[in-house]
């Protein structure tokens, strides 16, 4: 008898299963948070400070309240609970009361019958400010020369990493000072929410685009002085996040307006307000000195890191830890002298963005590796291969890298990817630097190649138990999953279905709304949801399968350990029983919940020593650019990459993460920066903050390195952040190779190339 073959399309783990929200999204039927709508709803809007630093002398809302169609105006005096919020330290006021600390800080909010009425109401609020000198230079926060702008002081956190012989001097020493500009997440779907007050005013329901429903719930409830269970959150469709939705933006304002007016409140930011309303990537200044033997063996890294956290702490202290603990890069290094500061200023607040501190560290250490290569007479590839970290090596924190660490393989497989074709003699104008403006001449264009390699920690660090919860229910071959994991575009919704199909042998997997009706899934950040929420869904499905096997075994007098799932059947591995999962336990409901925890981590000691991280992923990037050095114009031609992913669970989704991350890293390399002058943003719009378009995106060549990670529940590492980290230094190295310029700052601007 021929062996049975499974002909049904399974769409389990490893397949390019299609996302369940795909068709609704292409048809315009998917409900983003900005699409939420309720009968009788009012529009909320926020009044923001025009000054980066000022004392509030008086606020007069009477003229705004007198406008027809205005239902409420609220200020700090109307906050019933805690007056501040914050992810790590609760230091940011719901509304500024006595002082404003950044240009764009909320001072009041209104509810009105039309967005235009709300806009007029904001204009009618009179705020009397006494303007103060702003702290805008991070060094004046470090050196203590500026009076504290917040009761918690101007240094949010200082952390050293000290390891090995502090007097060691290498045969070869290279150094440099590097700067990283302030990047914006620029998610397309603007901040938006709909708040529905309970009829008796005792609670509120919020539909909101966020990265972590339960953390929002906790902060909102505290500010509203409500018990947690009276603040219920459901994820509104999220139009991208990239770290920018980890902090509270409009959540408290929206709920408070709903409770005050007793009517549904819709709030949505415009693009300019979005730039004011969420945190950004920390601008950084990093001095680094590398010591090596003559043959290029890295021996010691010295670094001084200053991150400008802006007015409020957000996640600055964790971003700093990531930066200082990743300063060596993916290279063996025994000795370290690192000193890092995250400081407060009157610049816009900074916090999480894809790469989270490691982006800044990587630009510095990879620029240094190229300097070291040149000083030792090695190629960029050889210096990196020579020092490549392996499993069992130590970080400068003393932590042993237990993760799979195929650094050398990432570099070699990137190098093996084909180079792009040379630029033709008469190229289409769209292909040359500057594009169709016909600005660069073919004869001026020089091509350069550059490298970048990085490591990135996965999950939360420093003792934090960022667990994830999931529930699985199986009835007659149909699985239903429930979790609070924020789907922000990354595709967890399809991965969850794939897991259930593979574990349970079912075709149909339904998803409950993503809400606080189940336990926390932690944040969709730190490349953690495939590992953490994936582990939780996997655990819940396995528990259900165990109960299914128990039921089948009891019914047929078998040992449950003999049972397995094959295709969509339950099969006795040593006997003849084969029964479809759908028929194996007719009418019986199996319902299990599972919480996945990663292994515990430790806090760092005062010398920055300790096992503070959970796990690591690695990646290499090679960039090819064309540059017109006279005009300072750059076209990124190709990026090649080999990424350590553990295991590819959905090839299409994985490729999308890699290509998307590369475009964001390209943006930081040559296009994107929030320009500040005296603490004020000069370019809070998509006209002036330039994002990569289809014509800016390079061709991308990808190799996925699959060495399953034993620690990871599915063998898969997080893949979201690594693509955007070392691509930035790779592109800048390529521009340096083409021009001979030092280019110590990103983004590289035309005048940096022409006059640098």
Give me the residues that bind another protein (CB under 8 A), please.
16, 18-19, 21-23, 25-32, 34-35, 37, 114-116, 185-190, 237-242, 270-271, 428, 430-431, 436, 488-491, 652-653, 655-656, 658-664, 685-687, 691-695, 697, 700
Name the strand (E) or helix (H) holding 498. helix 492-504
Q: Shortest gap between Cβ of 641 and another protein (angstroms)?
A: 11
Nearest to 479 by CA among 462, 459, 499: 499
Name the strand (E) or helix (H) holding 290. strand 284-292
Q: Shortest gap between Cβ of 29 and another protein (angstroms)?
A: 7
Q: How many CA atoms lie within 13 A of 421 on its CB side?
A: 5
Cβ proximity to another protein, 517 vs 691, nearer residue: 691
Instruction: Kindly provide the b/e burial profile for residues 410-448, where b requires at least 16 CB atoms within 10 angstroms of the residue's own CB.
Output: bbbbbbebeebeebeeeeeeeebbbbeeeebeeeebbbb
Backbone phi, then psi, for 60, in 5-degree steps?
Answer: -120, 110
Q: Shortest gap between Cβ of 660 and another protein (angstroms)?
A: 4
Cβ proximity to another protein, 256 vs 702, nearer residue: 702
- At residue 78, the 3 state secondary structure works out as helix
Cβ proximity to another protein, 65 vs 652, nearer residue: 652
Q: Shortest gap between Cβ of 237 and another protein (angstroms)?
A: 8
Listed in sequence order, the residues at least 6 apart from 293 whose beta carbon sits closer than 8 Å to its beta carbon are 170, 171, 172, 299
Q: Shortest gap between Cβ of 667 and another protein (angstroms)?
A: 9
Q: Shortest gap between Cβ of 665 and another protein (angstroms)?
A: 10
Give the pair of three-digit tokens for residue 377: 């007479």
Listed in sequence order, the residues at least 6 apart from 268 whose beta carbon sits closer than 8 Å to its beta carbon are 33, 34, 190, 191, 192, 193
Q: Shortest gap between Cβ of 30 and another protein (angstroms)?
A: 6
What is the spatial distance between Cα 375 and Cα 378, in angstroms, rounded to a whole number?
Answer: 8
DSSP structure string for 126-139: EEEEEE------HH
Cβ proximity to another protein, 20 vs 750, nearer residue: 20
- Backbone dihedral region of 114: left (phi > 0), alpha (psi from -120 to 50 degrees) or beta? beta
Nearest to 53 by CA among 7, 83, 98: 98
The three-point CA angle 317-332-640 to 5° equals 85
Cβ proximity to another protein, 225 vs 685, nearer residue: 685
Q: Shortest gap between Cβ of 268 and another protein (angstroms)?
A: 9
Cβ proximity to another protein, 22 vs 377, nearer residue: 22
Q: Shortest gap between Cβ of 719 and another protein (angstroms)?
A: 13
Q: Residue holding tokens 């390891």?
A: 163
Q: Shortest gap between Cβ of 323 and another protein (angstroms)?
A: 24
Cβ proximity to another protein, 666 vs 735, nearer residue: 666
Q: Shortest gap between Cβ of 640 and another protein (angstroms)?
A: 13
Give the pair of three-digit tokens for residue 313: 């702490």
Cβ proximity to another protein, 1 vs 694, nearer residue: 694
Backbone phi, then psi, for 174, in 5-degree steps?
Answer: -130, 150
Cβ proximity to another protein, 164 vs 435, nearer residue: 435
Cβ proximity to another protein, 209 vs 373, nearer residue: 209
Cβ proximity to another protein, 497 vs 664, nearer residue: 664
What is the spatial distance between Cα 266 and Cα 413, in angstroms, rounded to a whole number?
Answer: 50
Cβ proximity to another protein, 176 vs 656, nearer residue: 656
Q: Shortest gap between Cβ of 405 and another protein (angstroms)?
A: 26
Q: Shortest gap between Cβ of 482 and another protein (angstroms)?
A: 22
DSSP structure string for 182-222: PP----SS--EEEEEE-TTSS-EEEEE--SBHHHHHHHHHH
Cβ proximity to another protein, 254 vs 259, nearer residue: 254
- Computed over its alpha carbons, how large is the radius of gyration of the chain? 27
Give the max Cα distance, the chain: 89
- Alpha-carbon 4 to chain mean position: 45
Distances (CA, A) of 472 to 187, 482, 501, 566, 582: 31, 7, 12, 19, 15
């Amino acid at each position: 008898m021929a062996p049975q073959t499974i002909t049904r399309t399974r769409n389990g783990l490893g397949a390019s299963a299609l996302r369940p929200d795909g068709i609704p999204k292409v048809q315009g039927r998917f409900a983003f948070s900005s699409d939420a709508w309720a009968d009788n709803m009012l529009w909320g809007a926020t009044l923001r400070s025009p000054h980066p630093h000022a004392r509030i002398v008086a606020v007069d809302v009477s003229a705004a309240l007198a406008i027809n169609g205005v239902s409420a105006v609220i200020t700090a005096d109307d906050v019933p609970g805690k007056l501040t919020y914050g992810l790590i330290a609760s230091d940011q006021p719901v509304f500024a009361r006595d002082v404003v600390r950044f240009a764009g800080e909320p001072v009041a909010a209104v509810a009105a019958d039309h967005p235009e009425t709300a806009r007029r109401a904001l204009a009618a609020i009179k705020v009397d400010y006494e303007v103060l000198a702003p702290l805008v230079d991070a060094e004046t926060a470090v050196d203590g020369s500026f009076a504290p702008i917040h009761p918690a002081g101007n240094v949010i956190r200082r952390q050293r990493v000290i390891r090995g012989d502090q007097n060691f001097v290498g045969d070869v020493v290279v150094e440099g000072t590097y700067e990283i500009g302030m990047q914006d997440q620029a998610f397309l779907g603007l901040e938006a929410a709909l708040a529905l007050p309970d009829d008796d005013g005792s609670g509120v329901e919020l539909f909101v685009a966020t990265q972590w429903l339960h953390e929002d719930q906790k902060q909102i409830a505290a500010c509203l002085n409500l018990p947690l269970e009276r603040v219920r959150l459901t994820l509104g469709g999220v139009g991208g996040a990239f770290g920018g939705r980890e902090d509270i933006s409009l959540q408290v304002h929206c709920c408070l307006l709903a409770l005050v007016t007793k009517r549904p409140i819709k709030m949505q930011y415009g693009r300019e307000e979005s730039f004011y309303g969420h945190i950004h990537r920390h601008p950084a200044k990093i001095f680094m000195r590398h010591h090596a033997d003559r043959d290029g063996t890295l021996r010691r890294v010295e670094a001084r890191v200053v991150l400008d956290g802006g007015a409020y702490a957000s996640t600055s202290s964790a971003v700093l830890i990531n930066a200082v603990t990743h300063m060596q890069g993916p290279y063996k290094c025994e000795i370290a002298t690192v000193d890092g500061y995250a400081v407060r200023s009157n610049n816009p607040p900074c916090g999480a963005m894809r790469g989270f501190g490691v982006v800044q560290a990587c630009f510095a250490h990879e620029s240094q590796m190229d300097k070291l290569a040149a000083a030792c007479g090695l190629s960029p590839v050889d210096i990196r291969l020579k020092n490549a970290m392996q499993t069992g090596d130590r970080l400068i924190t003393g932590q042993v890298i237990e993760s799979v660490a195929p650094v050398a393989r990432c570099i070699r497989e990137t190098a093996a990817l084909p180079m792009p074709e040379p630029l033709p003699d008469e190229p289409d104008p769209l292909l040359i630097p500057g594009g169709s403006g016909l600005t660069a001449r073919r004869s001026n264009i020089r091509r350069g190649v550059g490298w970048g390699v990085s490591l990135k920690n996965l999950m939360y660090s420093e003792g934090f138990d960022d667990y994830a919860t999931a529930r699985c229910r199986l009835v007659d071959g149909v699985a239903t999953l429930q979790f609070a994991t924020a789907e922000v575009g990354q595709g967890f919704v399809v991965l969850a279905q794939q897991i259930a199909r593979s574990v349970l042998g079912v075709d149909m997997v339904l998803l409950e709304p993503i809400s606080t009706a189940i336990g926390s899934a932690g944040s969709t950040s730190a490349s953690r949801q495939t590992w953490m929420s994936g582990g939780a869904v996997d655990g819940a499905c396995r528990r259900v399968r165990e109960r299914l096997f128990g039921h089948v075994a009891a019914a047929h007098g078998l040992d449950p350990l003999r049972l397995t799932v094959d295709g969509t059947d339950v099969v006795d591995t040593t006997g003849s029983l084969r029964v479809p999962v759908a028929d194996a336990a007719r009418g019986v409901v199996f319902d299990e919940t599972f919480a996945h925890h990663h292994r515990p981590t430790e806090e760092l000691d005062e010398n920055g020593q300790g096992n503070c991280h959970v796990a690591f992923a690695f990646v290499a990037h090679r960039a090819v650019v064309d540059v017109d050095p006279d005009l300072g114009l750059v076209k990124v031609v190709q990026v090649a990459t080999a990424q350590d992913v553990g295991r590819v669970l959905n090839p299409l989704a994985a490729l999308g993460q890699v290509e998307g991350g590369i475009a964001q890293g390209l943006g930081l390399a040559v296009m994107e920066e929030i320009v500040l002058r005296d603490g004020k943003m000069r370019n809070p719009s998509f006209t002036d903050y330039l994002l990569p378009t289809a014509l800016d995106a390079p061709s991308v060549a990808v190799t996925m390195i699959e060495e399953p990670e034993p620690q990871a529940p599915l063998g898969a590492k997080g893949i979201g952040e690594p693509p955007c980290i070392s691509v930035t230094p790779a592109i800048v190295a390529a521009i340096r190779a083409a021009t001979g310029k030092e280019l110590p700052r990103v983004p590289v601007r035309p005048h940096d190339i022409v006059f640098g």
